[in-house]
Amino acid sequence: MNNSNLQIVPVADMPKYSKHVKDSPKKLYKKFIQLENLCRSLKGSGLSATQVGWPLNMYVICKNNNTCDYFFNCEYYPIGDITIAIKEKILYTESCLSLPNKYYHVYRFNKIKLTGKRLVNMNGTFSIISVNYIVSDNWSQIHQHEIDHAHGILISDIGKVVFI
Ligand SMILES: [Zn+2]
């Protein structure tokens, strides 16, 4: 995990699974800041550890207002009856830093329960908080995309390529 050499690895080199992260908040922050810096430099909205070759369940979501959220050990679950949740999936056009210059149509659950952990920075003090809430619309889509990465799933596996 060399800081200066951190880069997006080719799809063939991406881990197909990820482990739970058990680091202290300080060590975790060092990893997250590397992911954030790379995500920002590539103008991405999210980046998962598997995309840089780390088999870890962790990802960053960088927002327009220059803030970035750090998530780890997260999973998502559709809300309510599964057959209805599947029927009510929303079609999104997505891109991915691991699949440059391509767009895919992907169906996503509109509403998910998100569980896991977040690392938060409170005036320079890092703490880990539990995540257990409902996310919908675009936020739901982004979390599904990033958590799928933790399980080795790319939008090229579950979507259809779009020619724009
Ligand atoms: Zn991606």
Question: By mean pLDDT, which of 35-39, 50-54, 85-89, 119-123 is the weakest?
Answer: 119-123
The alpha carbon of 41 and the centre of ligand 1 are apart by a number of angstroms equal to 15
The alpha carbon of 35 and the centre of ligand 1 are apart by a number of angstroms equal to 13
Q: Which of 77, 75, 108 is nearest to 91 (CA)?
A: 108
Which amino acid appears at position 44 of this protein? G
pLDDT tens-digit series, residues 106-164 = 999 999 999 999 999 888 899 999 999 999 999 999 999 999 999 999 999 999 999 87
The alpha carbon of 80 and the centre of ligand 1 are apart by a number of angstroms equal to 27
- Which residues are registered as beta bridge partners of 94? 104
- Do 125 and 114 touch, CB atoms closer than 8 A? no
Pairing state of beta strands 58-62 and 103-108? unpaired
Mean pLDDT across the stretch 75-92? 96
Mean pLDDT across the stretch 40-57? 96
pLDDT tens-digit series, residues 49-78 = 999 999 999 999 998 878 999 999 999 999
Domain boundaries, the chain: 20-162
The alpha carbon of 95 and the centre of ligand 1 are apart by a number of angstroms equal to 7
pLDDT tens-digit series, residues 2-12 = 455 799 999 99
Which amino acid appears at position 15 of this protein? P
The alpha carbon of 146 and the centre of ligand 1 are apart by a number of angstroms equal to 6
What is the reported pLDDT for 163?
83
The alpha carbon of 88 and the centre of ligand 1 are apart by a number of angstroms equal to 23
Region at 70 (left for phi over 0; alpha for psi -120 to 50; beta for the rest): beta
Q: Looking at domain 20-162, what is its CATH homologous superfamily?
A: Peptide deformylase (3.90.45.10)
Q: How far is CA 153 from CA 17, 45, 51, 115, 124, in A?
A: 9, 18, 11, 19, 34
Statement: the pTM of the whole predicted model exceeds 0.85: yes
The alpha carbon of 46 and the centre of ligand 1 are apart by a number of angstroms equal to 7
